[in-house]
């Protein structure tokens, strides 16, 4: 009985050590909410899910609220490394990490602004195809929209794809799976 209690106390103390605890739990929950939001929007554009302007707006707002400075604030120095999946490299490459967080933040702002005035049905100008096909050029020839094109000028679906690219870019560099 006494041994069991001691073990419990030890386990609790270890659980509160660097790299775990409320900061990590909060940011992992935040990331999961972003994943759910991105999945909702993607599902509506892919017709796997019924389109609903209010749900689109709510999901876009979630992405906006959890990127940019809010995302940066979720990764303070002492919270990195195992058992969290945040790599210690975040500290060595702060500028790059923050640039990514702000880049996705700018995209999320643009998407949320579009969602704000989203119509009751998905219109063609919200989809990726139309903007690319304009101008009479071939689809392939027009695909190379410059990376730094003003996101507010892009169709909503295209902005979503750029957002998803930023998720993967950051994960491949700054996240590691911990067993
Ligand atoms: C600037 C970097 C960065 C960006 C951008 C980013 N993530 Fe993450 N994400 C991380 C890091 C680092 C972790 C590991 C966090 C931890 O375990 O403490 C993570 C973890 C996650 C997790 C796992 C959460 C868990 O329960 O362990 C999910 C899901 C996730 N991210 C989804 C997303 C989605 C979806 C996007 C884009 C909309 C995104 N992330 C954008 C850095 C980023």
My answer on whether omega of the bond before 83 falls inside 30° of 0, hence cis, is yes
DSSP, res 77: G
pLDDT band at 178 (very low <50, low <70, confident <90, very high): confident
What pLDDT, in 10s, does the model give residues 42-73? 999 999 999 999 999 999 999 999 999 999 99
How far is ligand 1, taken at its centre, from the CA of residue 35, in Å?
8
Q: 86 CB less than 6 Å from ligand 1?
A: yes
Domain ranges of the chain: 20-174
What pLDDT, in 10s, does the model give residues 74-108? 999 999 999 999 999 999 999 999 999 999 999 99
Which long-range contacts (C-beta less than 8 Å, at least 24 apart) are formed by 159-164?
159/107, 159/110, 159/111, 159/114, 160/38, 160/41, 160/42, 160/45, 160/111, 161/128, 162/107, 163/38, 163/63, 163/104, 163/107, 163/108, 163/111, 164/38, 164/42
Ligand 1: nearest atom to the Cα of 80: 18
Which long-range contacts (C-beta less than 8 Å, at least 24 apart) are formed by 56-60?
56/115, 56/118, 57/112, 57/115, 57/116, 57/118, 59/115, 60/108, 60/111, 60/112, 60/114, 60/115
Q: 167 CB less than 6 Å from ligand 1?
A: yes
To test the pocket of ligand 1, the residue of 43, 175, 178, 179 to mutate (highest count of ligand atoms within 8 Å of its CB) is: 175
Q: 163 CB less than 6 Å from ligand 1?
A: yes
Distance separating alpha carbons of residues 79 and 152, to the nearest angstrom: 34
Q: 84 CB less than 6 Å from ligand 1?
A: yes
Q: Is the pLDDT of residue 25 over 60?
A: yes
Class of domain 20-174: mainly alpha
């Amino acid at each position: 009985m006494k041994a069991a209690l001691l073990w419990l106390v030890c386990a609790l103390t270890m659980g509160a050590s660097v790299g775990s605890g409320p900061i990590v739990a909060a940011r992992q929950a935040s990331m999961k909410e972003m994943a759910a939001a991105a999945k909702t929007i993607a599902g509506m554009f892919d017709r796997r899910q019924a389109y609903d302007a209010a749900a689109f707006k709510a999901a876009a707002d979630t992405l906006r609220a959890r990127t940019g400075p809010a995302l940066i604030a979720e990764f303070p120095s002492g919270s990195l490394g195992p058992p969290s999946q945040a790599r210690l490299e975040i500290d060595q490459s702060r500028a790059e990490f923050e640039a990514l967080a702000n880049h996705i933040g700018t995209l999320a702002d643009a998407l949320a602004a579009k969602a704000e005035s989203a119509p009751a049905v998905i219109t063609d100008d919200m989809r990726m195809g139309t903007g690319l096909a304009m101008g009479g050029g071939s689809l392939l020839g027009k695909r190379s929209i410059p990376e730094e094109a003003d996101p507010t000028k892009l169709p909503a679906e295209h902005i979503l794809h750029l957002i998803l690219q930023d998720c993967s870019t950051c994960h491949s560099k700054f996240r590691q799976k911990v067993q």
